[in-house]
Amino acid sequence: MQDVTDRPFWALMTRYGGADVYFTEYFRVHQDSRLERGILESITRNPTGRPVVAQMIGNLVPDLVRTAKELQRHPVAAIDLNLGCPAPVVYKKCAGGGLLREPQRVDAILGALRDAVTIPLTVKTRLGFEDDRNFDEFLAIFARHRIDLLTVHGRTVAGGYRSAVDYGWIARAVAQMKCPVLANGNIDSAQKAEAVLAQTGARGLMIGRGAIRNPWMFSQIRQKQSGAGITLPTGHEVLAYVRDLYEAVCPPEVREASQVQKMKKYLNFLGLGVEPTGSFLHQMRRVETKADLFKLCAFYLDHPHPMPLEPLAIPLSNRDVLAVAAT
């Protein structure tokens, strides 16, 4: 997730159990692009001890090929093409999810990348742009170019993060593709992870927002799979995570106001599991100092009770940062 799941965040996740594989933020690819140093350091200074997949976003064949070749000079397990980002600033440039409006261009891009990439080539996609009518066509394109892994987010680009996730389409991809398929979208608990794997037959899961809210989820999923009881963090432990997060992702040389704004990106996700009225989110988005931020977090989290950290039914406006949809 861009500007969120960066190298410091990865390092923190490993302390809470960590994922099996990590995907970088996307490298923006265009005519004048160069490998962004901060993202590249998540590869060259990988703090996780686990494989890293380098993610690209763009639409120009020569530049995607050039970037893929450059990335292969570094210790990456695979090269990933992003066809799923629903952010308007991305899809309006016909990149990310915007490419799902142009099957022929995706076909050309993957053909060129398949020739240029000598390590595994992977794709992350949504079901389509406005609807899912072309999803089978895209599956045929992915199969024709022999991609090595497909991640499917079970929403359209227009569905943003508010529409229901259609796991049936992910199951369809599993049935049609020879390569492994990962399921993505609303994996918010170990129980949900187990259910989605059973329903879709996917080889694994991609987890983004859920891990920000609940860094214990990877360990909880492993506990569930082993038949062990799931350990829930207490409010005290969640508050400690917030403090760890601040120390990990907020560079001390950056002014406090900017540090607080960066933390809000993470707490937007965590806040969905704190309390059901939306009061925490409302107040958190308005604090301006580190002291006020931690005072607010302590008010809601300084307690010994277990917290499932699953998203609560908080009313959100259509313009809410957590309710992104195409317009």
- Catalogue the active-site residues: 85
Tokens 């540090």 locate to 259
- Please tell me the distance from the alpha carbon of residue 220 to that of residue 226, in angstroms, as a whole number: 10
Say how many CA atoms lie within 13 Å of 25 toward its Cβ: 19
* 108 Cβ neighbours under 8 A, 6+ residues apart: 61
Contacts of 193 (CB under 8 A, 6+ apart): 187, 205, 207, 217, 221, 224
**CA dist., res. 104 & res. 250, Å (int):** 42
Q: Cα(35)–Cα(25) distance, rounded to whole angstroms?
A: 12
Tokens linked to 291: 């002291």
Q: DSSP H helical segments within 23-129, as ranges?
A: 37-44, 61-71, 88-91, 103-116
